[in-house]
Amino acid sequence: MGMRFNSTSSPAEQVTADIASKFDTTLGFDESASAVADTLTTTLTSDQFGYLKSIGLCDSYWPSDIIQYLLEAVHVTTGLPWWATIAVTTLGCRLALFPLFMASSDAMARSQPIMNETKELRKEINLATAAGDTALRQIKTLQLQALNKKYGVKHSRMFLSPLAQVSYGFGSFFGIREMSNANVQGFADQGTLWFQDLLAPDPYLGLQVISACCYSLSFQLGGETAVNQFGPTMKKVFVVLPFVSILVTMNFSAAILVYFTVNGFFSILQGRLLRSPGFRKFAKLQPLMDPALLAAQNKGMAQNFTETWSEMKSNNDAKMKMNERAKKATAMQFARAKAGKVIIQKRK
């Protein structure tokens, strides 16, 4: 007689085990998700969209992130090495900003012939404000507005290029620096000539010197708008300053210095173009004032600052005297009120 042993599993559990052995009850979801994640982290390269975001860059829409988006778009779509990507993107951005510099140059050129009249009217407006003469202040303000309208001066256009340049300049610098610090794939070997490694500083200081020469020459030609806004002393300072800055830029990565060099080279071309009478006539820009006449009325930044400080001081003294007279008049009225000598004038 044979012995029958009880099974350790129930019939239902046995059926479930048989089904599981024949079919994959997970349908491969967990494994496929893990495989996709591994594929993304292992195969995403710098020549694919989304790479910069995958390494922690391009996470907002600040100017630096916008520049990174542009750099990635140019690099992926064109297949250019990173040094050429930085150069092409810089040229493209500067071309896009060129109309703003044209507008600023036109506005500054229109304001030059009336510079002395404008300063005098502004001085009179400040004096009238300090003296509390509202009527005179309004008259002088209207005269200033009429003068600007007559010569087509729109001061808002003067600030277009500086604001755009600051946003673009800081965005490019910090954007490329973040990419260098993040060790973007290709930065280490996609340089050119003597700066093959874009992550390291230029050991020969070649890029530093070239970029300094570009910016110095740009200042000599009148700056970005080709309109000389500085006196002789300040102009010399801005001409020498780029070479002094080599002490700082010598530690910057070659990627940043490529941007500096291309940007400085474009500044020279832009300044030359905006100084050309033929181009200004073609673009319908106000002709530049004769340099000799401009030098005669341009007192320089230092002297202008001194005059502005003197005007502010005189205006402040006038305000203090007016406040003292008002306090004395108020005290006199209170004294008369206490003595019962308040004089009430009847209207006729």
Q: What is the DSSP string of 89-145?
A: HHHHHHHHHHHHHHHHHHHHHHHSTTHHHHHHHHHHHHHHHHHT-HHHHHHHHHHHH
Which residues of the chain are modeled with pLDDT < 70? 1-43, 224-231, 291-319, 321-323, 325-326, 338-348
Residue 183's contacts (CB-CB under 8 Å, 6 or more residues apart) are 199
Separation in Å, CA 43 to CA 50, 58, 149: 12, 19, 61
| DSSP H or E segment with residue 12 | helix 11-22
Query: Is there a contact between 229 and 108 (Cβ–Cβ < 8 Å)?
Result: yes
The C-alpha atoms of residue 273 and residue 66 are separated, in whole angstroms, by 28
Its pTM stands at 0.71
Partners of 192 in beta bridges:
195
Q: What is the pLDDT of residue 310?
A: 63
Q: What is the pLDDT of residue 126?
A: 84
Q: Nearest CA to 96 among 162, 159, 165?
A: 165
Q: What is the pLDDT of residue 33?
A: 44
Q: What is the pLDDT of residue 269?
A: 92
* In the chain, where the domains are located: 63-114+153-287
Q: What is the pLDDT of residue 226?
A: 61
Q: What is the pLDDT of residue 5?
A: 46
Residue 268 CB-density burial (10 A; 0-12 exposed, 13-18 middle, 19+ buried) = middle
Q: What is the pLDDT of residue 330?
A: 76
Paired tokens of 260: 């500096």
